[in-house]
Amino acid sequence: MEQSLSSLKVLDMTRVLAGPYCTMILADLGADVIKIEVPEKGDDSRQFGPYINGESAYFMSINRNKRSMTLDLKSESGKALFFELIQTVDVVVENFRPGTMEKLGMGYDVLKEINPSLIYAASSGFGHTGPYSKRPAYDGVVQAMGGIMSITGELGGKPTRVGPSIGDITAGLFTAIGVLAALNYRNETGRGQKVDVAMLDCQVAILENAMARYFATGESPKPAGNKHSSIVPFEPFETSDGEIMIAVGNDNLWRKFCAEAGLEAIVDDPKYCTNPLRTEHYETLRPMIAAKFKADTTDSWYHRLTEAGVPCGPINNIEMLTKDPQVLEREMIVEVAHEVAGKTHIPGIPIKLSRSPGSIRTAAPVLGEHTDEILKTLLGKTDEEIKALKAEGIF
């Protein structure tokens, strides 16, 4: 079946996370993504453990569906091949520190002369403009500067880093949106452009109610633990063998919750019958609820409350998540056969399209797996020409 982005050719100059995450999404949706890697070494993340048969599980998880070509971009022949490639592709994505592509003689100003319809997407720590532009950044630094740590953590506790590298991942997502928006513009006008996405900017963009609260009140929110600030009960409770998250989002759910939790005695209590009252009398209400939860297991509560229509769920660890029936039914855990690592599992595609669905067609490539294939099919090189180029040591 034809895929949404089947006609799109992407030259992928990215490494590690933000850039590769963006090009993975494009590849999942059908784009032909050609990953240009440094000869012998490849993407830095090929060295990140843990390994499966010597192959980085990390690299494999975000580089499926891509083709790998090695190329020494500092050599004259390597540069020449790169410029040939630029004429054949629709999109370039890179996540170097700003200025790096220019130093290589491959900045957007040069590339757009060669291919005016090229979409050039750059994902960087601080963006291609502004006083911090040239600074290096890591996810940890962006999470610190970007405010998300200041509102994550235990109540009264210290700012806490979000487990996944949300600074990189949101930049990858916004960059993918930028590329697709630019693609629509190009479909209408024939003209390419530059897409510039900064990890720090993306952090500002995802702060939602913390930002709204600050602008309304002038006060910076603090880590609030796992409790909702204005809905009660809306937090995890300890059970006889673990914890369960419950979300009694309105008064109708409160009635369902009380009936199932054996709290019929307080359902209409003038101290607890509406959400504002429950919020006001939280200190006396919480212990009553907590005592009930202690009397049964997480699994039992989860099934009883779900049956009763009360939003709730276990606090899954990664293993539990990968075995959840809904996650499996939605094909969010996919088995792939990797040339070296053998059969492994990677996350699936969260965008489900009814007519032109994405797909996981191939495992991540081994380094330079498709160099010859790309030279032949995309650039029309002959075996002899390839042999001569190889003698130069540029792959």
Residues catalogued as catalytic:
228
Cα dihedral sign, 174-179-182-184:
negative
Find the shortest distance in angstroms from Cβ 360 to a copy of itself: 12
Nearer to a copy of itself, 132 or 282 (CB): 132
Which helix (H) or strand (E) element contains residue 92?
A: strand 91-94
Alpha-carbon distance 366 to 360, whole Å?
Answer: 16
**Residue 12: strand pairing partners:** 35, 93
- Nearer Cβ to a copy of itself, position 220 or 274? 220
* Token pair in block for residue 371: 């160099």
Among candidate residues 10, 68, 37, 78, the one with its CA nearest the CA of residue 369: 68
b/e map 290-327, b = 16+ CB within 10 Å = eebbeebebeebbeebeeeebebebeeeeeeeeeeeeb
Shortest Å distance, C-beta 325 to a copy of itself: 5
Residue 292 structure tokens? 């009930």
The residues pairing with 337 across neighbouring beta strands, listed in sequence order, are 343
Listed residue (164, 152, 147) closest to 212, CA to CA = 147
CA distance 378 to 385: 14
Strand partners for 141: none
Nearest to 50 by CA among 341, 362, 360: 341
Please report, for residues 28, 214, 377, the alpha-carbon distance to residue 380 in angstroms, rounded to integers and kept in the order given: 26, 58, 5
How does strand 55-56 pair with strand 51-52?
A: antiparallel
b/e per residue 148-183 (b: at least 16 CB within 10 A): bbbbbbeeeeeeebeeebbbbbbbbbbbbebbbebb
Strand, helix or coil at 22?
Answer: helix
Please state, in angstroms and rounded to a whole number, the distance separating the CA atoms of residues 198 and 143.
12
